[in-house]
Amino acid sequence: MKISESKINNWLKRRSIADGHSMPSVQGANRLRRKSTNFFRRLSIFVMGILYQRFRNPDVPSLTTTNSILLIAHDPIGDLVLSSALWSTLLKRKPELRIGIAISSRNQEVLSEEKIDKKYDLYSGGIWSIFKEMRRARRDGWDVVLATAGYYKPTRFAFVSRFIANKGVTATRHSSRSKRYSRIYSFCFERPPEWECVPMVQQYCELVEKVFSLKFTPQERLPHFLLQQDADSTIKKKIDQLLQPHGFSRYILLNLEAKIEYREWGIDNVELLAKTLQQGSNDTLIIVTASPEFRQYYTIEERVRNITNIAIIETNSLHELAAVIKYASVVVSPDTSVVHIAAALGKKIVGLYPAHDEWHPYGVEATILYPKRWEPISSISVWSVYSEIVLLLDHTVSSSI
């Protein structure tokens, strides 16, 4: 598939976004802009604190008397997957509950098989189209609005939540300024600080528990991902065509692409891993996945053409990618949506992370590997990744006997 140069340039531009968690910040850069943003944020909080005073500290809602709940999750695909435990558990506790979810153009496929009453695109369009979605949500009426997106942009989503909720209850969590934001939400609970690395799934579930004074069981905390049957059967046929003619009985899925290059393991490492794996196991294929722009820019097809135990599989949707994940024996990936979909499907995972954080795979057997401080993910050795893959593959075999 030929990709235009402009599309590749746009893709490269998106990948160049600075990542404060994995790269040292430059002191003094954009200081004036940061100060002005902070000033307007404080001013907004002050004004909203006055306007929203009557909505502060209401009676704790009961799930028994609550008829509708809107969940405003953060935009990335992984965040919505990690939030799946919320609506599934709420509907399990109260099947007649009306559930709404905020979506974006990139994460909406996550919900295509879910029984969700209302969806509102609060991310994809311009200001006017987003405002129209907010008005539509307000007209539909919601008793409780849970803003897990408020973990990251609390001021913005305090306004969005309150506008939609009208006279209903709004709730979020914040780690360092929960008292400040409790003036503009009905409830703003204290969130664990980032350095405690409390899994994000657990934090999302605890928000619901605190709002409704209930307790999730360990099983209810597990995320899930519902696959489209057509995508599942299509990918199963493609996988069989890759495995059977060449004598492979299983495969490892290796995701090459991350948000920024600093977080990617690199095709050189993948080539060396394939050679190492071939020496130790002739029945295991490596299937690599990445966007078409990534593959063309790095000429991945050309690099792996002559490596017999590496294959590339074309996927046309998020559900086809999830189906490839579903049938893998082990999934290897940097911190991306692939990790969280794999965990939701119960797969064994080797995660490549820049540092210990809140976004580890949840509820599955997983090994997380880290580079040295400030080093890129590509510095993680091939041998360490290979060793963990072998351990997980051996565990798969022994557990099935």
Per-residue pLDDT in tens (0 to 9) along the chain, 401 residues: 577 888 888 888 777 765 544 444 444 557 777 767 676 666 776 677 667 666 667 777 899 999 999 999 999 999 999 999 999 999 999 999 999 999 999 999 999 999 999 999 999 888 999 999 999 999 999 999 999 998 888 888 888 998 999 888 999 998 776 677 777 888 889 899 888 999 999 999 999 999 999 999 999 999 999 999 999 999 999 999 999 888 899 999 999 999 888 899 999 999 999 999 988 777 899 999 998 888 888 889 888 888 999 999 889 999 999 999 999 999 999 989 999 999 999 999 999 999 999 999 999 999 999 999 889 999 999 999 999 999 998 865 444 33
**Domains 31-212 and 229-400 agree in fold:** yes
Nearby residues of 8 by Cβ (< 8 Å), 6 or more positions away: 293, 296, 297
Token digits of residue 121:
């695109």
CB 364 within 8 A of CB 349: yes
Instruction: Specify the DSSP class assigned to residue 191.
Output: P
How far apart are the C-alpha atoms of 85 and 313, rounded to whole Å?
Answer: 30
Q: Measure CA 263 to chain center.
A: 15
Task: Indicate the fold that domain 31-212 takes in CATH.
Answer: Rossmann fold (3.40.50)
pTM (whole model) above 0.75: yes
| Residue 233: closest CA among 319, 106, 158 | 319
User: What residue ranges do the domains of the chain occupy?
Assistant: 31-212, 229-400
Torsion angle of C-alpha atoms 290, 291, 294, 300, degrees rounded to 10: 50
Second CATH level (architecture) for the domain 229-400 = 3-Layer(aba) Sandwich (3.40)
Nearby residues of 98 by Cβ (< 8 Å), 6 or more positions away: 67, 68, 69, 117, 118
